[in-house]
Homo-oligomer: A and B are copies of this chain.
Amino acid sequence: MKLKMMYSFLNSDINIIEKELEETIKTESNLLKQASMHTLQAGGKRIRPVFVLLAGKFGHYDIHVMKNVAVALELIHMASLVHDDVIDDADLRRGQPTVKSKWDNKIAMYTGDFVFALALELMTNIENPAAHKILANTMVEVSVGEIQQIKDKYRFNQNLRDYLRRIKRKTALLIAVSCQLGAIASGVEEALHKRLYRFGYYVGMSYQIIDDILDFTSTEKALGKPAGSDLLQGNITAPALYAMEMGEIKREIEKVNENMAPEDISNIISLIKQSGAIEKSFALSDQYLKKALTILEELPENKAKKTLRDIAKYIGRRKF
Residues on A facing B (Cβ under 8 Å): 27-29, 31-32, 83, 86-87, 105-107, 109-114, 117-118, 120-121, 123-124, 127, 129, 132-133, 135-137, 139-140, 142-144, 146-148, 150-151
Min CB gap A269→B, angstroms: 26
A127 contact set on B, CB distance < 8 A: 129
A129 contact set on B, CB distance < 8 A: 124, 127
Docked Cα-Cα span, A142 to B32, in Å, equals 13
Docked Cα-Cα span, A121 to B137, in Å, equals 6
Q: List 23 A-B contacts (CB under 8 A).
A: A28-B144, A29-B147, A29-B151, A32-B143, A32-B147, A86-B109, A87-B106, A87-B110, A109-B109, A110-B150, A114-B144, A114-B146, A114-B147, A117-B136, A117-B142, A120-B120, A120-B139, A121-B136, A121-B137, A121-B139, A124-B129, A124-B132, A124-B133
Instruction: Using known A-B contacts A86-B106, A147-B31, determine if residue A140 contacts B118 with beta carbons closer than 8 Å.
Output: yes
Docked Cα-Cα span, A109 to B32, in Å, equals 18
| Residue of B86, B117, B136 touching A124 (CB-CB under 8 A) | B136
Min CB gap A120→B, angstroms: 4
Min CB gap A168→B, angstroms: 13
The answer to whether B114 and A150 touch across the interface, beta carbons within 8 angstroms, is no
How would you classify the secondary structure of chain A's contact residues: helix, strand, loop or mixed? helix
Docked Cα-Cα span, A112 to B139, in Å, equals 12
Min CB gap A142→B, angstroms: 7
The answer to whether B150 and A106 touch across the interface, beta carbons within 8 angstroms, is yes
| Residue of B107, B143, B148, B151 touching A113 (CB-CB under 8 A) | B143
Instruction: Using known A-B contacts A86-B109, A109-B109, A151-B31, determine if residue A114 contacts B143 with beta carbons closer than 8 Å.
Output: yes
The answer to whether B120 and A29 touch across the interface, beta carbons within 8 angstroms, is no
Min CB gap A177→B, angstroms: 13
Docked Cα-Cα span, A117 to B114, in Å, equals 14
Min CB gap A48→B, angstroms: 18
Instruction: Using known A-B contacts A29-B148, A31-B151, A110-B147, determine if residue A117 contacts B132 with beta carbons closer than 8 Å.
Output: no
Min CB gap A7→B, angstroms: 29
Docked Cα-Cα span, A140 to B129, in Å, equals 21
Min CB gap A297→B, angstroms: 33
Known: A111-B147, A124-B132. 19 other contacts (CB 8 A): A29-B151, A83-B109, A83-B110, A86-B105, A87-B106, A110-B143, A110-B146, A113-B143, A114-B140, A117-B140, A117-B143, A120-B120, A120-B135, A121-B133, A121-B136, A121-B137, A121-B139, A124-B129, A132-B132
